Structure 1
Amino acid sequence: MPLSWNEIKSRAMAFSRQWADAADEKQQSIPFWIDFFEVFGITNRRVASFEHAVKKHGGGQGYVDLFWPGQMLVEQKSRGKPLEPAFDQAMGYFPGIAERDLPHTLVVCDFARFRVIDLDTRREITFALADLHKHVRWFGFIAGYKTQEIRPQDPVNIKAAERMGRLHDALKASGYGQFGSAPERAGHALEVLLVRLLFCLFADDTAIFPAQGFRAFIEERTAPDGHDTGPLLAQLFQVLNTPPERRSALLDEQLAAFPYINGRLFEEPLPIADFDAATREALLDACALDWAGISPAIFGSLFQSIMDAQARRNLGAHYTSEENILKLIKPLFLDGLRAEFERVRHQRNRLFDFHKKLRTLSFLDPACGCGNFLVISYRELRLLELDVLRAAAELQGQSGQRSIDVHSLIGVNVDQFHGIEIEEFPAQIAQVALWLVDHQMNLRVGEEFGQYFARIPLVTSPHIVHGNALTLDWAAVLPPARCSHVLGNPPFVGHQWRSRQQMDDMARIWGGEGRFGRLDYVACWYRRTVEYLQGNLAASAALVSTNSICQGEQVATLWGWMLANGTHIHFAHRTFAWSNEARGKAAVHCVIIGFGLQDLPGKVIYEYDDIKGPAHAVPAANINPYLVDAPNVLLPSRTDTPPGLPQLKKGSQPTDGGHLIFTTAEKDDFLAREPLAAQWMRPYIGGEELINGNGRWCLWLKGIPPAQLRAMPLVLQRVQAVAEARRRSPTKSVREFAAQPTLFTQDRQPDAPYLAIPEVSSETRHFIPIGFLGPDVIASNKLQIAVGATRFHFGVLSSTMHNAWMRVVAGRLESRYSYSPSVYNNFPWPFCTLDSKQKVPPAQVQKAQAAIEAAAQAVLDARAAFPGSTLADLYDPLTMPPALLRAHQKLDAAVDRAYQLAGGPKSYSGDAERVAFLFTLYQRITSLLPVQTTPPKKPRRRGAGLAAGGAGVDAV
């Protein structure tokens, strides 16, 4: 166990007095440095060597005065000799030192003076021998105090995982764990062995083991060819699992120096691994890293990825960054605890009660993976406890009491953290990661108060259960009455990507109704969490989710159940990019939702102007399932078009195997060979073509006389290919349509001009680009079309008001907006709630409507001024013409004035206010409507009061 700082300082002062007159390098250097190490409690001669031979820069032979591989190099001179040449001499040794042995600290000394350089940070200091006691913390690593900043993006995390990856590959190639095991357990032994080695590497650099004890054991006790490395490791593991009083009296001294670890980490018997020279070198390379600086919060995920060669090529792509974890835990519990601490920090009794409260908190992550959320939560709780101890020390100092005993006061422990993980290896990593961060925090406490503090042997353990969280009883892992917070990042899997087991999980949790099958897999954890919280209404939860559960058709299905079972949303991060800074980074568009079964004040929505940018907190009176400050409204998948509005429907679908569709080049080539087909060739427009102008064409053979068809053999070949493709379809209705190969399987083509809305549009645009098309342009099924739409409808749908609504309620395809008739049918149009009680003169309505029409025409005119530009060009925020932008601003003003007639404000600070108003308006509208239940088989118009006021508007 390392000495306390007070003891080290006392020894340093005695050392300075003892060696005050030392001057001769040759005679006194070795005893000087032996005594120096004893200042820090190191008497083992194994840690460093004197007169270590190396090749100097240029090829000559040199001798390092003192060398501790991977830690420290010392160049000693006689008293009065200049230190600068000694520094240059020391640096000249570095080319001859193996990379894994390069030191992090360089010392040059002439007995009277020390010059110390931290080669990692480039910090340095020069001080006199008499002042050694003032600067002993520069040598804290000798005693075992190695507190350093744990940086999640530090390249050492990637490097460490890569070195473990090489070791993993070498052991796997040897067949370790593959023979004599059941197939499902084939990789188990290798996984456990790697977890044990991870712990040993970390222990070597953090004073759990004697200084560099594990590395010295491998280097000194195992043969260079590696033949005895496996058996000696097995012996070491047995020692680590044996209390000192039960160890053999004849146990080797070097092995006996290792502590008893416990915690069941070294309990399971493992097959003895076979090493060769290369495998032993891979292990020593891993030993050479400074594992004290590893971030357990991310290293677990990196470590897991080494088990898969494909995943390792993209190493670091899927770990969860600390920044994103803090987005969840700060509003869930950390901000509240920090605020409470600030209120009580100067009051002894209340501070004592607050400290006791920290020990009572319990956390459950029901999809914990490698434990990232639990590790960061534990670390932050320990940092808060450290602040409590500082405050307690200050209060004691004010009252004249002696310093606090941290050994007895540290209360927060890993047994407050519980997790469920379906895969065994990540579950093991999660447990070890919590132990690692526990020890890092213990080192930090020791550094702070000068009292080494460690929890070895491991008496308490985190409760990580290997199993399926959707079949396990969570109460058996942590009784809900003891749970404070549920948190985590359950898996995101859309309905089309689920495995058979995941489909069974969905059916078990949600039942067999088809609408539940459309939910994202993560919705299972929401339901299980709410059911679990029924046992403790005071507990709260926060989960990371795909943003799809707050958009489109999933909202009513999931949140209808959640709200009916008493759920209240306490805070929410709206859509942002869940990414990290590692190589091959992966980004998903996510939300974070904090919720519980109590309605709490102080609700907050975290808004993102840019999904990759910072969030800004916005207070909210209520957070609804669409994550806006508005009433708890659930929009149905409304199929009925409100009265007075043109129906919105999909375009036509060919289901033709591609044989009726042409690019422009293909069309030109086809017509050159079959010129009679020109009168049957039509422009074919989907969302891509509407926005980007990439022309496609189709054979539109509706009504073609048989004689004309026979006169075009190439067209006839295409028709025959359509019939064959349809006959091969697994869908019965498509096979039946093989009898009509000249027709699209779904013909919704209008015979009049229509408004076209792309089904999918980029999230980077402020407006969905929409436009009017003629009846000769065939709309594909990737367009939503409205026949009979006017400039009024175009203007409202092109406004910021409608686009703000769309951004909240539309579904998403990846991050892009997916526009459906439900967005349109549920939208609260202007004038839709006006009745006789509001006493708005019809003339005002007509004036507002005319203003929208005029502004809409101005937008169309502004577009027409750039005939060579596509809608993608015109609506790209970077290239949008100023004239078009001004036209849209005038259109927004006209639409906003129309909504003022329904009680809307004169201005809006942003989309959030617009959507909040629209939800309130929607609630007012639907209070006049019957609830839409199961969609009728035949289209019917239902509900008065949603009229858009478009009757009598001239068509464009």
Structure 2
Amino acid sequence: MGLSWNDIRANAARFARDWKGHGYEKGDAQSFYNEFFEVFGASRRRVASFEQPVKGLPDNKRGFIDLFWKGVLLVEQKSMGHDLEKAHQQALDYFPGLKDADLPRFVLACDFQRFELYDLDENRSIKFPLADLPKHVRAFSFIIGDKPAAFKDQDPANIKASELMGQLHDALLQSGFVGHDLERLLVRLLFCMFADSTGIFQTKWLFRDYVRDHTDEDGSDLGGKLQHLFEVLNTDKSRRQTNLDPDLAQFEYINGDLFAERLAVASFDKNMRDKLLKAANFTWEKVSPAIFGALFQSVMDKKKRRAIGAHYTTEQNILKVLGPMFLDDLNAELAKIMADKSSRRTAMLRAFQDKLASIKCFDPACGCGNFLVIAYRELRRLETEVIKELSDQRELDVAILSKVNVDQFYGIELEEFPARIAEVAMWMTDHIMNVLLSDDLGQYFARIPLRARPTIRQGDALETDWSSVLPPEECTYIIGNPPFVGSKQGEDEQRAQIHRLAAMKGRKGTLDFVAGWFLKAGAYVQTSRATIGFVTTNSITQGEQVAQLWPILFQRYKLEIFFAHRTFAWGSEARGKANVHCVILGLCRAQQAPSTRRLFDYPDIKGDPIEVSVKSISPYLFDAGGLSDPHTVVARLSRSPADRPPMMIGSKPIDGGFYIFTPEERAAFEEIEPESVDLFVPFIGSHEFINGESRWLLRVDRLSPTDLAALPHVRHIISQVRDFRLGLIKGKNKRKIKEGSADGAKLAEYPTRFHVTIRPTEPFLVVPETSSERREYIPIGWAEPPTIPSSLVRIVPHATPLLFGIITSRMHNAWLKIIGGRMKSDPRYSIDIVYNPFPMPVLDDTKTAQIAELAEKVLEERAKWMPASSLAHLYDPLGMPPDLKAAHRKLDAAVDKSYRKEPFASDRNRAEHLMGIYERERAALLELAAKPSRKRKAAVVEVEV
């Protein structure tokens, strides 16, 4: 073959550009096909003729074939816009007048702008527009004597391909090929398959065919053959042995250190070889950059994935960061330049290209580099538009024109395998963009051997000095999705890192691991104009974490939120994908903050956002323009103000579940020990209260020694509780004891008692700790003694209908859902953040009576359906009784009006109003919080309320 396929693709791009919009059958056909054959480095005159006469048409007419290559190709050419189906049939009508030896295998119907090629031997066809000719040149491989290629593309690379690589990883791992060598091998194989598919290797499918044709079917020699191939890929062609196998000699010199290290030789079997060949048969050029993260995630151990918080963001979500961070502005800037018709336009385009080439992106938790590759791809797309505009259809050197390169991108990654994947992904993206630019300009260019490389540092981002990777004054954008690990899930070392970075006095706090990246980024940009854009769990914008993290970012590091996406459902394209609800936060230094900020809201967390412009953005991600201080956060308040009765958490058994029984377990126990019948009392948590289900608590704390001696099975339960608590003390789940604020040894000394017992003596208000996000209202209600509440509910003794009416209203729910924390996306009720700091309305006697009366009406409407219907049924969004909903609406309206006369447009609007009240009351609340409180020191606590 005189030309490589990359040369042919470039020729095809020029041909498509030259003939765009042109084509008249009689006047242009000969020029068109002379130039078409030249695309492949072939001479039309040597093989085919125009206007070949033919007899035997229908009605015995004589005709002329537009272009005829005996035994190979027949072309029926039409002017632009003509019916190609009719043209195809006209071509077939010539066949009876041809000798059998001259019958062509291929028929082409064309109108200059559309191609329809038919392979009559294989009964296949392919149809495409002129602009797509570079993508389909291999369909015409017969022109240069190659074996005809299948018209149907190979299967596109997708999740299935990454799963296949995951299976290959698992098979190698089980065989004992592990660690560094395994990870490097998989990265090299991925690169080879991509190079095979995209033209980095000049002969397409060179790698696949090498594996298929040069290794034994049982896979026994595959490891050694791959090792030899890697050595060839790492050797300049001028330094290779002269007697090298010709098939190996065709491979390009890659460089870039990708193949420099000598790995141990892997032992393959037939199954592994088959998996590799199947993966190699995918069209990897069609891969989205997001697939590389999916590949990595698919081969990682599930427990390891959870431990390091490895979550991979979809391309759509990455663009939610990059768009408002810089791409939207760059696109707008380019559009403005394109619209400029003055003499300054060329200089402006060149200055814009230089600006693109000066951008440096840094992802300090880069994983497989998804953020970096997509950011690079988008910058190259913008640069390509500039180059096309500057080229003015001239023959230009792409190598000189393209200034944006992979060495503008930096990352830190803890694990070696994804760090190497990130490097390879950047090179792959570079080649994809080079090919697209070549197609646009009609000149092939590839950056092989690799010279520029991204900087991907392997290490712990929270321990690494970021300025040693990229000096902050050189950085333009900090991007990424740091690990999603909650404070309760993190390892001790991770919690220590966060505490050290936060440098908070006193209590360690409950910051999630992801907060470490915000703290490091805040410190890093102090000598930089870089902006920050992170995808993160919504936990750092809710609950008690807000008051711990954001004052540091606002006050210590002088940052502002200049764009944000409120909570949305995060998506991943990988096996074992995570279930996470995220927000996106864009931060900059205060002096860089724009006068208006962009806030994206999600009416449907799985849908598209609605964008609004606001003056400032609160860390709770609402419009803070109405606040005197937009940085206002709700501080924990451990005691209730005088305008409401105290709320408390329920009982904490810390018993290993041995004192808690289902109805069936209780019945079985009473059958064994009938004397225990009076020891069981109802025990409710959020689930039981909302769903109307029963659990029972075995109360043994008031048994006399004599009574206990007569109950051997109860004694056995007590011994199990003691053993469980001793097990905690010895090292299993020590944290559970610590979280209960109890001394483990002392708690084990009192096995008949709970850590904390709350024993109501009169009806009490019950507030579930968590409730489904689907519900419009939190199902709040009353319970009565002898019911014991668990720590999964909050209770208010001595509550009134007025209090019930206020905290069951939409106003209070808005505060809970926006200010309070969440379990995934479900609201989580907190005494210190939600109840105690909640701004109560100022009521006169009339309003007090009105709200109390409407609250009673809500309870009356509930009572019509209970107990046959549970609170879960009554507050199901689809099944809520109309009269109950109407009662709530009237109560909501009354509570709303107790705050202001004007109606509220949304829950976010309600929360913004409440935050304004809280801001005015905050000083008094902080003074209340500063008063000393009694600390429990006893191993067990009993409270009658």
Q: How many residues align?
A: 829
TM-superposed CA distance for 1:240, in Å, is 2.4
**What is the TM-score when the length of structure 2 is the normalising length?**
0.79
The answer to whether 1:936 aligns with 2:932 is: yes
Does structure 1 conserve the Cα–Cα contact (< 8 Å) formed by 2:73 and 2:107? no
Does the residue aligned with 1:761 lie in a helix, a strand or coil?
A: coil
Aligned equivalent of 1:539, options 524, 530, 537: 530
CA displacement, residues 589-634 of structure 1 (integer Å, 9 cap, x when unaligned): 2211111113223312221223222221122222112122123222
Residues 308/828 of structure 1: CA separation in 2 closer, same or farther (3 Å cut): closer
Does structure 1 conserve the Cα–Cα contact (< 8 Å) formed by 2:679 and 2:698? yes
1:760 counterpart residue number: 770
TM-superposed CA distance for 1:523, in Å, is 0.9
The answer to whether 1:831 aligns with 2:855 is: no
Does structure 1 conserve the Cα–Cα contact (< 8 Å) formed by 2:74 and 2:108? no
1:951 counterpart residue number: none
Equivalent runs, 1:525-604 vs 2, <5 Å: 525-536=517-528, 538-565=529-556, 566-580=558-572, 582=574, 584-598=576-590, 599-604=593-598
Does the residue aligned with 2:485 lie in a helix, a strand or coil?
A: coil
Aligned-residue identity in percent: 43
Equivalent runs, 1:516-915 vs 2, <5 Å: 516=508, 518-536=510-528, 538-565=529-556, 566-580=558-572, 582=574, 584-598=576-590, 599-630=593-624, 631-671=630-670, 680-700=679-699, 730=729, 733=743, 735-736=745-746, 743-832=753-842, 845-867=844-866, 868-900=868-900, 906-915=902-911
Does structure 2 conserve the Cα–Cα contact (< 8 Å) formed by 1:362 and 1:416? yes
Residues 569/796 of structure 1: CA separation in 2 closer, same or farther (3 Å cut): same
2:210 counterpart residue number: 217
Using the alignment, how far apart are the partners of 1:657 and 1:717 within structure 2? 14
Using the alignment, how far apart are the partners of 1:759 and 1:746 within structure 2? 17
TM-superposed CA distance for 1:873, in Å, is 0.8
TM-superposed CA distance for 1:828, in Å, is 3.7
Aligned equivalent of 1:298, options 291, 295, 304: 291
Using the alignment, how far apart are the partners of 1:704 and 1:173 within structure 2? 57
The answer to whether 1:188 aligns with 2:188 is: no
Aligned equivalent of 2:403, options 408, 411, 436: 411
1:203 counterpart residue number: 195
TM-superposed CA distance for 1:435, in Å, is 0.6
Does the residue aligned with 1:491 lie in a helix, a strand or coil?
A: coil
Using the alignment, how far apart are the partners of 1:111 and 1:825 within structure 2? 76
1:104 counterpart residue number: none
Residues 745/282 of structure 1: CA separation in 2 closer, same or farther (3 Å cut): closer
Equivalent runs, 1:8-47 vs 2, <5 Å: 11-13=35-37, 15-21=43-49
CA displacement, residues 659-688 of structure 1 (integer Å, 9 cap, x when unaligned): 543333344455566666555543222222
Does structure 1 conserve the Cα–Cα contact (< 8 Å) formed by 2:546 and 2:633? yes
TM-superposed CA distance for 1:302, in Å, is 1.1
Does the residue aligned with 1:344 lie in a helix, a strand or coil?
A: helix
TM-superposed CA distance for 1:734, in Å, is 5.7
**What is the TM-score when the length of structure 1 is the normalising length?**
0.79
CA displacement, residues 863-908 of structure 1 (integer Å, 9 cap, x when unaligned): 01112111111111111111111111111100011001xxxx5112
1:474 counterpart residue number: 466
1:427 counterpart residue number: 419
Does the residue aligned with 2:759 lie in a helix, a strand or coil?
A: coil
CA displacement, residues 316-361 of structure 1 (integer Å, 9 cap, x when unaligned): x954211121121111111121122222223313222222111111
Residues 407/786 of structure 1: CA separation in 2 closer, same or farther (3 Å cut): same
* Range with bigger deviation, 674-683 or 782-791: 674-683
Using the alignment, how far apart are the partners of 1:446 and 1:627 within structure 2? 44
Equivalent runs, 1:99-118 vs 2, <5 Å: 108-109=105-106, 115-116=116-117
Using the alignment, how far apart are the partners of 2:261 and 2:74 within structure 1? 42
The answer to whether 1:320 aligns with 2:313 is: yes
CA displacement, residues 490-522 of structure 1 (integer Å, 9 cap, x when unaligned): 112223322354244335423586743521111
Residues 675/343 of structure 1: CA separation in 2 closer, same or farther (3 Å cut): same
TM-superposed CA distance for 1:549, in Å, is 1.3
Amino acid at match of 2:401: L
Equivalent runs, 1:125-204 vs 2, <5 Å: 125=127, 138-139=136-137, 156-168=157-169, 171-172=172-173, 175-176=176-177, 187-204=179-196
Using the alignment, how far apart are the partners of 2:168 and 2:727 within structure 1? 51
Does structure 2 conserve the Cα–Cα contact (< 8 Å) formed by 1:515 and 1:557? no
Does structure 2 conserve the Cα–Cα contact (< 8 Å) formed by 1:331 and 1:571? yes
Does structure 1 conserve the Cα–Cα contact (< 8 Å) formed by 2:598 and 2:613? yes
1:124 counterpart residue number: 126
CA displacement, residues 727-768 of structure 1 (integer Å, 9 cap, x when unaligned): 666256465456665544323323232211112222221111
Equivalent runs, 1:379-528 vs 2, <5 Å: 379-393=377-391, 396=392, 402=394, 405-511=397-503, 515-516=507-508, 518-528=510-520
Amino acid at match of 2:649: K
TM-superposed CA distance for 1:167, in Å, is 4.3
Residues 201/652 of structure 1: CA separation in 2 closer, same or farther (3 Å cut): closer
Does the residue aligned with 1:545 lie in a helix, a strand or coil?
A: strand
Does the residue aligned with 1:747 lie in a helix, a strand or coil?
A: strand
1:56 counterpart residue number: none
Using the alignment, how far apart are the partners of 1:814 and 1:705 within structure 2? 45
Does structure 2 conserve the Cα–Cα contact (< 8 Å) formed by 1:196 and 1:265? yes
Using the alignment, how far apart are the partners of 1:216 and 1:35 within structure 2? 31
1:949 counterpart residue number: none
2:11 counterpart residue number: 5
Amino acid at match of 2:863: A
Does structure 2 conserve the Cα–Cα contact (< 8 Å) formed by 1:805 and 1:827? no
Does structure 1 conserve the Cα–Cα contact (< 8 Å) formed by 2:498 and 2:513? yes
CA displacement, residues 97-135 of structure 1 (integer Å, 9 cap, x when unaligned): xxxxxxxxxx95159998526999x973499xxxx9996
Residues 219/622 of structure 1: CA separation in 2 closer, same or farther (3 Å cut): same
Does structure 1 conserve the Cα–Cα contact (< 8 Å) formed by 2:362 and 2:478? yes
TM-superposed CA distance for 1:855, in Å, is 1.2
- Give me the CA root mean square deviation: 3.9
Residues 923/246 of structure 1: CA separation in 2 closer, same or farther (3 Å cut): same
Does structure 2 conserve the Cα–Cα contact (< 8 Å) formed by 1:12 and 1:133? no
TM-superposed CA distance for 1:554, in Å, is 1.3
Using the alignment, how far apart are the partners of 1:112 and 1:717 within structure 2? 88
Using the alignment, how far apart are the partners of 1:309 and 1:545 within structure 2? 20
TM-superposed CA distance for 1:645, in Å, is 0.9
Residues 597/701 of structure 1: CA separation in 2 closer, same or farther (3 Å cut): same
Residues 211/613 of structure 1: CA separation in 2 closer, same or farther (3 Å cut): same
TM-superposed CA distance for 1:465, in Å, is 1.0
TM-superposed CA distance for 1:383, in Å, is 1.7
Using the alignment, how far apart are the partners of 1:729 and 1:225 within structure 2? 53
2:227 counterpart residue number: 234
Amino acid at match of 2:379: L
Unaligned stretches of 5+ residues in structure 1: 37-76, 91-106, 145-150, 177-185, 833-843, 941-956
Using the alignment, how far apart are the partners of 1:116 and 1:415 within structure 2? 43
Does the residue aligned with 1:217 lie in a helix, a strand or coil?
A: helix
TM-superposed CA distance for 1:829, in Å, is 3.3
The answer to whether 1:346 aligns with 2:339 is: yes
Amino acid at match of 1:789: A
CA displacement, residues 848-867 of structure 1 (integer Å, 9 cap, x when unaligned): 22221111111111101112
The answer to whether 1:80 aligns with 2:97 is: no
Using the alignment, how far apart are the partners of 2:170 and 2:745 within structure 1? 52
TM-superposed CA distance for 1:168, in Å, is 3.9
Does structure 2 conserve the Cα–Cα contact (< 8 Å) formed by 1:691 and 1:871? yes
Does the residue aligned with 1:497 lie in a helix, a strand or coil?
A: coil
Using the alignment, how far apart are the partners of 1:205 and 1:82 within structure 2? 41
CA displacement, residues 413-460 of structure 1 (integer Å, 9 cap, x when unaligned): 111111111111110100000111111111111222222222112121
Using the alignment, how far apart are the partners of 1:524 and 1:750 within structure 2? 42
